[in-house]
């Protein structure tokens, strides 16, 4: 056994030892490996009481917080309920990396005592268990980001996000899986293994925040925090049937989090929440911004939460809605087009809808690729060198020529020019709307594909574009793949956009995508997180109304 394999074996054994024996499902009661959906498995195990099932089935984070603040639910009992469901989740979909049950229990007990003594909750997130992607450092715990060589190097302090979440009363209790390098849209690695999609375990959970996607979808956590540099919050949200938020650059504090490609600032990574309710995204945003993160993270702008802007957006009577049906390079799978048509059919009764010509996808991909590979893969090579751990087959950029300093300047200028072109394109929609205003929101497919069988080809066309333009985006879970409604087209398009378009058309087979969720993206203007959450709420309420 090689040195890196010994580390993997020890780390996995340590993780398994932290799962209480009484929360483990016996081997004979685990679902057979060919059981696809395990989304409703937890209540059937007998491990959870009816009250614990009730607690973890509460998708509405706002309601859960109200019950915690009133004392109807104790922080300790809510935490234990989610710990149980998380332990069950781990045995069937493998979402976890680091486990912090004991520390979380101590913190929850303190919160209960404080509420009992003072009559006041600790903060806006009082008692809410929160899971976080492995990147976020928790004192005393590793933040390996799936590199074996980063194991056994515990953090000596919390990242800013963790500190502020606790300050707001939240209870961080587990960290979740991600791909090696964090730069891929499926979650697998040599250190922690592969995370499965609880809706269909033959499919992946997306990435790079796939551990969060799987855990939150399984109801092992009411609210998770991921990161997004090319779609890494939005892809798991869309593929796991969740709500997700990709905010504008630096709106939430990234300081102190572990990362790949450190120093690459052409396309910054951002952090954002995943939840089974829109109220979870709102609660996270309000809760974190209420703690003045700009005082601890020099990159975070001094922009408190604007309740006025949020309420204005959620009550605006008429929206101008742009619709980008495809990206001009690759058509999305049929269920995305169906989902968008069904949503827009309901929205059109009250709102103005205009088609939106796609941005220049090829230029976007060149900007992203140039930024991510600018160091020629040196950051990744340095991470794997100490233990000679293998590099995942999906990692790109290693071995390429380094981008010289002046070339990086030119790449940054190209990005800025691209952003201006896209902004002008957005504003030009004013010439086609009925009231002469530009669009308020843009609705876009959640991706090219739904969740796919493991180790499939992937792309980030529909998500990466908004990392380059830096627009805030909310993902809404709309439907699932339907074998009849989403049947493979009987004939090909008269003309394919590209070879990639042809490849994905030929690849599409709904029989392999049983139960796969389908989400859409609702895009807003830069640094308008409050507005996009309010506008997305309007879309969701209209769509979900009977």
Tens digits of per-residue pLDDT, 301-321? 999 999 999 999 999 999 999
Q: What is the pLDDT at residue 267?
A: 98
Distances 150 to 98, 194, 353 between C-alpha atoms, Å: 13, 19, 50
Do 372 and 264 touch, CB atoms closer than 8 A?
yes
Q: Quick one: pLDDT band at residue 260, thresholds 50, 70, 90?
A: very high
Model pTM greater than 0.95? yes
pLDDT at 366 over 90: yes
Do 123 and 149 touch, CB atoms closer than 8 A?
no
Instruction: Locate the domains of the chain by residue range.
Output: 3-23+43-362+435-544
**Among 232, 248, 275, 279, which one carries the catalytic annotation?**
232
Binding residues, by number, are 182, 208, 229-232
Is residue 317 flagged as an active site residue?
no
Q: Quick one: pLDDT band at residue 395, thresholds 50, 70, 90?
A: confident
**Among 11, 74, 84, 133, which one carries the catalytic annotation?**
133
Q: Quick one: pLDDT band at residue 396, thresholds 50, 70, 90?
A: low
pLDDT at 46 over 80: yes
pLDDT at 152 over 90: yes
Q: What is the pLDDT at residue 510?
A: 98
Tens digits of per-residue pLDDT, 425-465? 999 999 999 999 999 999 999 999 999 999 999 999 999 99
Is residue 159 flagged as an active site residue?
no
Q: Quick one: pLDDT band at residue 397, thresholds 50, 70, 90?
A: low
Structural element, H or E, at residue 424: helix 405-427
Q: What is the pLDDT at residue 441?
A: 99
pLDDT at 208 over 90: yes
Binding residues for substrate, by number, are 182, 208, 229-232
What fold, for 3-23+43-362+435-544?
A: Amidase signature (AS) enzymes (3.90.1300)
Query: Residue 271: phi, psi to the nearest 5?
Result: -110, 150
Is residue 285 flagged as an active site residue?
no
pLDDT at 43 over 80: yes
- Average pLDDT of the chain, as a whole number: 98
Query: Residue 459: phi, psi to the nearest 5?
Result: -150, 170
Residue 92: alpha-carbon gap to chain centroid: 20
Question: Can you read off the two tokens belonging to residue 86?
Answer: 């998380």
CA angle 407-409-410, nearest 5°? Answer: 65
Do 529 and 473 touch, CB atoms closer than 8 A?
no
**Among 141, 149, 159, 208, which one carries the catalytic annotation?**
208
SS3 133: strand
User: In the predicted model, what is the mean pLDDT of residues 378-388?
Assistant: 95
Q: Quick one: pLDDT band at residue 145, thresholds 50, 70, 90?
A: very high
Runs of H (alpha helix) within 295-360: 307-315, 334-347
Strands 441-445 and 517-523: antiparallel
């Amino acid at each position: 056994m090689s040195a890196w394999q010994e580390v993997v074996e020890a780390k996995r054994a340590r993780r398994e030892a932290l799962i209480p024996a009484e929360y483990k499902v016996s081997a004979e009661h685990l679902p057979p490996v060919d059981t696809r959906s395990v989304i409703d498995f937890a209540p059937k195990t007998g491990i959870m009481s009816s009250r614990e099932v009730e607690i973890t089935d509460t998708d509405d984070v706002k309601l859960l917080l109200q019950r915690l603040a009133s004392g109807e639910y104790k922080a300790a009992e809510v935490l234990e309920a989610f710990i149980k469901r998380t332990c069950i989740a781990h045995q069937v979909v493998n979402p976890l990396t680091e486990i912090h049950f004991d520390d979380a229990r101590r913190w929850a007990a303190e919160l209960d005592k404080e509420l009992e003594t003072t009559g006041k909750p600790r903060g806006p997130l009082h008692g809410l268990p929160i899971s976080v992607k492995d990147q976020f450092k928790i004192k005393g715990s590793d933040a390996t980001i799936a590199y074996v060589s980063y194991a056994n190097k515990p953090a000596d302090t919390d990242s800013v996000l963790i500190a502020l979440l606790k300050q707001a009363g939240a209870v961080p209790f587990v960290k979740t899986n991600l791909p090696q390098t964090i730069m891929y849209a499926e979650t697998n690695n040599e250190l922690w293994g592969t995370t499965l999609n609880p809706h269909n375990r033959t499919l992946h959970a997306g990435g790079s925040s796939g551990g969060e996607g799987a855990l939150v979808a399984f109801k092992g956590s009411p609210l998770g925090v991921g990161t997004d540099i090319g779609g890494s919050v939005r892809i798991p949200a869309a593929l796991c049937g969740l709500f997700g938020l990709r905010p504008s650059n630096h709106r939430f504090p990234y300081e102190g989090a572990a990362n790949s490609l450190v120093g690459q600032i052409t396309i910054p990574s951002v952090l954002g929440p995943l939840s089974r309710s829109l109220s979870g995204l709102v609660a996270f945003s309000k809760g974190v911004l209420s703690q003045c993160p700009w005082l601890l993270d020099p990159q975070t702008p001094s922009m408190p939460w604007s309740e006025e802007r949020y309420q204005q957006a959620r009550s605006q009577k008429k929206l101008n809605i742009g619709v980008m049906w495809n990206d001009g390079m690759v058509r999305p799978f049929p269920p995305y087009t169906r989902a968008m048509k069904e949503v827009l059919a309901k929205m059109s009764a009250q709102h103005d809808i205009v088609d939106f010509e796609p941005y220049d996808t090829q230029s976007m991909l060149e900007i992203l690729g140039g930024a991510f590979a600018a160091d020629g893969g040196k950051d990744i090579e340095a991470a794997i060198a100490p233990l000679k751990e293998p590099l995942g087959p999906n990692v790109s950029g290693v071995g390429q020529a380094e981008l010289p300093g002046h070339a990086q300047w030119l790449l940054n200028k190209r990005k800025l020019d691209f952003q201006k072109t896209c902004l002008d394109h957005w504003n030009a929609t004013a010439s086609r709307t009925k009231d002469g205003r530009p669009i308020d929101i843009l609705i876009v497919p959640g991706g090219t594909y739904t969740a796919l069988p493991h180790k499939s080809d992937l792309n980030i066309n529909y998500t990466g574009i908004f990392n380059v333009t830096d627009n805030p985006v909310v993902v809404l879970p709309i439907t699932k793949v339907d074998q009849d409604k989403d049947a493979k087209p009987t004939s090909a398009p008269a003309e394919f956009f590209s070879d990639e378009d042809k490849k994905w058309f030929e690849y599409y087979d709904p029989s392999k995508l049983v139960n796969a969720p389908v989400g859409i993206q609702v895009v807003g203007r830069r640094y308008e997180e409050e507005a996009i959450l309010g506008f997305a709420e309007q879309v969701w309420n209209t769509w979900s109304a009977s």
